A and B are shown apart, each in its own frame.
Chain A
Amino acid sequence: MTERERRILPICLAAFIAAALLPLADDGYWLALGISVVMYTTLATSWALFSGPTHYISLATAAFFGVGMYTVGAWVGLLPFPVLVLIAGLLGAALAAVVGLATLRLSGVYFVIFTLGLAELARQVVSWVQTTMGTSSGLYVLTDITEPIIYWSLLALAAVIYLIGWRIGRSRLGFALRIIGNDEVVAVHCGIGTARAKVILFVVSGCLAAVIGAIMAPRFAYVTPTQAFSPMLSFQVVIMALLGGAHRLWGPLLGVIPFTIVLDLIAANFPNQTALLLGGAFLLIVYFIPNGVAGLIENGLRRGRSRA
């Protein structure tokens, strides 16, 4: 641990404990908002684990999230919930491995399109299976898991994700990913197995998104493919991560907090224009703050230091 990390650690722990106390203070609106914030934080941070250093924009979040949700939907009542979460993680990882091996050799644009198509394909397949094999268009997820438990589970997962990210950042794998993100040609000539490095990170990221989907499932008593595999979710995660700054572990968090609150306001006041406003926000972010809030803060600090 570096000197700086040792100084920051107590602050992180304090913030974490404070966040964990939220359900004791309120179990209505604020807890619901808290769940949204932590869910998007975990999703956007695990998305950025892969996409931050590689600059590959994945729109497959909804595919993994949906797989997680449906894992719970399909076997709830048959297996204990923690086991379902574990299975969801394994399925998400397996799906990411297959997709990663097939697509990570593709260049940027093809990858984006493929991942978007993947979520759509998953949605169609699940709908088809449901309507032909079963009779309903969704699955009931009836558990005794309450909102505070969901919130705490997500919060614990967030801690795990930050630990994973911190560990990767100090590892050879993390270094390899940063080199790949800078110049893939240099990376291969330095002896980096680029496909392997990218697939590993994609698997980690896909696995986490599936786990998040599984944890969220009990919140919806009834899950449908449209809800579980919503492309909107993938876009929101990308926007939040970029708004915050995908090149830093703590970046996405800075995007999630303002965005979730604004999104909540938009959805409450302009329910029909959500997609439009979301698209507009995306354009503004990419254009005006390409390195996100984290980039703005870093520039500010640098300028402050050079002036001092």
Chain B
Amino acid sequence: MTGGAPALAVRDVTKAFSGLVAVDAMTFDLAENEVMGLIGPNGSGKTTMINLISGAFGPNSGSIQLYGDDIAGASATAIARKGIARTFQIVRILPSLTVLENVAAGGVFGHRRRWGRELEEEARHLLDKVGLEVSGGAPVSALTYIDQKRVELARALIGDPRVLLLDEWLAGLNPTELKTGIALIEALRGEGRTILIVEHVMHAIRSLCDRCVVMNSGAKIAEGTPAEVLADKEVIRAYLGDDDA
């Protein structure tokens, strides 16, 4: 059925916010089972790209295909149901729900749907998998930051997504937590998940990503293995600023 189409095919996607071009003619593929990094300096348009793929808003032009199925401009609801799940750069938990309900939220209406006992078991299983050691009935607001991020990841995974988008999921973690976090994504990769990660932590990118796409001012400036792009002159210039180059 999928006929060899890439998991995600982004073509000439452009998005402007009242004049400011946040994403400028972006083109890239994400292959099935691939873990790809989307990197670039602050304000280069990475989160906007994630928002366009997940349907938070539609592009002004260009196409985005999920296994050959055009999703550009579709609603976030429709895109979630087709199997794209995401986390948010600034963690978004559901404060009045329990930890278990927070996870379950992702597994009822989206891509893979469950309910009742089956849903609860899967939510528990995922809490275990992301390494959360609190009781599922606890209020979610009592969790530490990394645990909230774990909950968010479990919520994204419970719908068994075809493509997972992680927006700076490792940001704000201390060195020990970072190690755990990287191991966790590594484990997802081992399961054959298809993941697009936006990240600033360079050694995480090196160890996790098969390939990277680098953005600057909304446009793609490099693409290749982490080693290749991190050695690229233009990438170095983009990260350090023109003066230092």
Contact = CB atoms under 8 A, between A and B. Distances in A.
B194 interface: no
A186 B76 contact: no
B155 A190 contact: yes
B129 to A, nearest CB: 19
Contacts, number: 63
Nearest to B83: A191
B95 A182 contact: yes
B109 A172 contact: yes
Interface residue tally on A, bucketed by range = 10 to 19
Contacts of B93: 183
Contacts of A182: 94-97
A190 B97 contact: no
A190 B56 contact: no
B115 A172 contact: yes
Contact of A190 (B75, B88, B96, B109): B109
Interface string A163-200: 00000000010011011011101111111111000000
A194 B54 CA distance: 16
Contacts of B101: 175, 178
Tell me the dominant secondary structure on chain A's binding face: helix
Given A182-B95, A183-B92, A192 B109 contact: yes
B76 A175 contact: no
A187 B55 CA distance: 13
A186 B103 CA distance: 12
A181 B101 CA distance: 14
B97 A193 contact: no
B215 to A, nearest CB: 22
Nearest to B87: A189
Contacts of A193: 77, 109
A191 B92 contact: no
Nearest to A192: B109
B115 A191 contact: no
B165 to A, nearest CB: 10
A186 B108 contact: no
A172 B55 CA distance: 23
B56 A178 contact: no
A186 B155 CA distance: 10
Interface in B68-114: 75-77, 80-81, 85-86, 88, 92-97, 101, 104-106, 108-111
Nearest to B81: A191
Nearest to B76: A188
A194 B77 CA distance: 8
Contacts of A175: 101, 104-105, 108
A185 B92 contact: yes
16 contacts: A175-B101, A175-B105, A175-B108, A176-B108, A176-B109, A178-B96, A178-B101, A183-B94, A185-B56, A186-B94, A187-B105, A188-B80, A189-B80, A190-B105, A190-B110, A191-B81
Given A178-B97, A191-B110, 9 more contacts: A178-B96, A183-B92, A188-B75, A189-B80, A189-B85, A189-B86, A190-B80, A190-B155, A192-B109
**Nearest 5 Cβ contacts at the A-B interface:** A191-B110, A191-B80, A182-B94, A188-B76, A191-B109
